[in-house]
């Protein structure tokens, strides 16, 4: 009997452990992200809101790009030098977690005082009343949205109210590895190139047995086939944003053209690019050409392997025009912050010419303030950064700005990966995406 008792004890104690393990597992699955609702330390717990401007306060400024942290801290430092009673704590939440954390912080009332906003997410936060409007300041002329390039101020405007000050903008370029071109004796890409030339050279530069490929025909939107679709005369969304453009024949043709390069071995396969990020392949010298955004410039150049051996060219011309996507980030402030007066001062400073100059000189991003872009172009004199500014004229605005965007944008890669992985045809995938987008638009009117 002694033995039986021992069994029961061990089984019971083990079952307790198992229950706990299960409990841990279930709670992880059922919590609906409440885990993330832990208020980010916004540095104001010990500070009391005060009417007197002389009172010391610390405000939080949250961003998602670690590469830009030094520049943002430099701006904050200069702001504190001008306003000694206001300290700014810059915090980075990586892009992958940023919106999950923000969507938990918004209803909990714990959004950072000032934070980066993306065009695709803006509508949700603005309609929910989580952002403090800056319309008064725009109307009274304290903030002049005409100071910012490419009509960027309009991205963060909803129903006549202004919420955001443009921070920067980005366009897409063709990065190429000079060494691989030199070895093959092929001239570097220039503004005469079209897509056929791109495919032809990509084929020529590929040496699949050595793991070297001419071009990364990646399954990607902003730095991938959206540019191709536009260049070929297709659309991502119709101009009035009510209908998907994925199923237009010109869009499908562009998608097929790109996918073909993975079949021709001019590009790594979808599987290879899933295993290793294609920009990392470029950084390790395994790729001759890739489309990338201006925001990756500093990151790519930091690779010791290709530093000094690469450059930028404009995207190739398509059948109809040169395609490109322009997007702009904005700075916004929380409607529920405790130190709104101080936050508002900081927001204004972020939109100043001086803040843009710091952004430019440190090479963080293309600043939004007119006339400061040159400093960014000169921040890396050996790289042809001018192509990003020149392509603004050809560029199409990033197709966000509707409530449907976050929904269809999240679902799009799953369908397209079926085509890139070879399970369904590109044409079927494009039509499926179009149906899905149209449904999302109808559901989110």
Which parts of this chain interact with another protein (CB under 8 A)? 3-4, 6-8, 10-11, 14-15, 18, 20, 22-23, 25-27, 29-34, 100, 103-104, 106-107, 124, 127-128, 219, 270-271, 274-275, 406-407, 410-411, 413-414, 417-418, 420-423
- Least Å distance, CB 145 to another protein, is 27
Phi-psi region of 313 (alpha: psi -120 to 50; beta: other; left: phi over 0): beta
Rounded to a whole number of angstroms, the minimum distance from the CB of residue 8 to another protein is 8
Nearer to another protein by Cβ, of 108 and 375: the residue is: 108
Q: Which residues lie closer than 8 Å to 129 by C-beta, 6 or more apart?
A: 335
Q: Which is nearer to another protein, 279 or 324 (CB)?
A: 279
Q: Do 75 and 345 meet the contact criterion of CB atoms below 8 Å apart?
A: no
**CB of 139 vs another protein, minimal distance in Å:** 27
Q: Containing H/E element for 176?
A: strand 172-177
Closest separation in Å from C-beta 18 to another protein: 5
Which is closer to another protein, CB of 20 or CB of 393? 20
Shortest separation between residue 197's beta carbon and another protein, angstroms: 29
CA-based R_g, the chain, Å: 25
Backbone angles phi, psi at 30, to 5 degrees: -100, -5
Is residue 90 within 8 Å of 63, Cβ to Cβ? yes
Distances (CA, A) of 83 to 121, 132, 296, 347, 358: 31, 21, 33, 13, 17
Closest by CA to 255, choosing from 434, 120, 436, is 434
In the complex with another protein, the residue whose CB is nearer, 233 or 422, is: 422
Q: Which is nearer to another protein, 85 or 417 (CB)?
A: 417
Of 127 and 151, the one with the shorter C-beta distance to another protein is 127
Nearest-CA neighbor of 218 among 164, 169, 273, 145?
273
Beta carbon of residue 128, minimum distance to another protein (angstroms, whole number): 4
**107/371 with CB nearer another protein:** 107
Q: Is there a contact between 168 and 329 (Cβ–Cβ < 8 Å)?
A: yes
CA 198 to chain centre: 25
Q: How far is the CB of 194 from another protein (least distance, A)?
A: 29
């Amino acid at each position: 009997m002694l033995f039986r008792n021992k069994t029961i004890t061990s089984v019971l104690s083990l079952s307790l452990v198992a229950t706990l393990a299960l409990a841990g597992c279930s709670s992880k699955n059922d919590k609906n992200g409440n885990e993330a609702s832990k208020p980010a330390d916004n540095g104001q717990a010990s500070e009391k809101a005060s009417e007197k401007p002389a009172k010391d306060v610390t405000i939080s400024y949250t961003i998602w790009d670690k590469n830009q942290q030094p520049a943002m801290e430099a701006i904050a430092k200069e702001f504190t030098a001008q306003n000694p009673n206001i300290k700014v704590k810059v915090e980075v939440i990586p892009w992958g977690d940023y919106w999950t954390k923000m969507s938990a912080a918004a209803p909990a009332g714990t959004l950072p005082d000032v934070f980066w906003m993306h065009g695709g997410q803006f509508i949700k936060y603005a309609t929910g009343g989580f952002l403090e409007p800056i319309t008064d300041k725009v109307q009274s002329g304290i903030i002049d949205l005409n100071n910012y390039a490419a009509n960027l101020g309009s991205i963060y405007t909803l129903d006549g109210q202004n919420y955001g000050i443009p921070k920067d903008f980005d366009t897409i370029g063709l990065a190429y590895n000079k060494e691989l071109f030199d070895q093959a004796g092929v001239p570097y890409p220039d503004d005469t190139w079209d897509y056929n030339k791109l495919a032809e050279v990509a084929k020529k530069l590929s040496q699949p047995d050595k793991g070297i490929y001419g071009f990364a025909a990646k399954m990607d939107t902003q730095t991938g086939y959206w540019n191709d679709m536009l260049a070929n005369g297709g659309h991502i969304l119709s101009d009035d944003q009510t209908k998907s453009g994925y199923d237009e024949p010109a869009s499908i043709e562009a998608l097929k053209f790109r996918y073909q390069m993975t079949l021709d071995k001019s590009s790594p396969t979808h599987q290879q690019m899933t295993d290793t990020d294609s920009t990392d392949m470029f950084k390790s010298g395994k790729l001759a050409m890739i489309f990338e955004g201006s925001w990756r410039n500093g990151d790519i150049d930091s690779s010791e392997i290709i530093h000094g051996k690469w450059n930028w060219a404009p995207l190739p011309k398509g059948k109809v025009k040169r395609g490109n996507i322009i997007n702009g980030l904005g700075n916004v402030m929380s409607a529920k912050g405790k130190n709104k007066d101080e936050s508002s001062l900081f927001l204004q400073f972020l939109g100043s010419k001086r803040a843009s100059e710091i952004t430019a000189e440190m090479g963080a991003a293309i600043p939004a303030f007119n006339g400061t872009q040159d400093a960014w172009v000169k921040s890396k004199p050996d790289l042809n950064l001018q192509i990003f500014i020149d392509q603004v004229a050809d560029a199409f605005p990033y197709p966000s700005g509707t409530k449907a965007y976050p929904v269809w944008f999240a679902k799009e890669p799953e369908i397209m990966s079926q085509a890139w992985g070879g399970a369904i045809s590109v044409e079927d995938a494009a039509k499926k995406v179009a149906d899905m987008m149209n449904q999302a638009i109808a559901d989110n009117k």
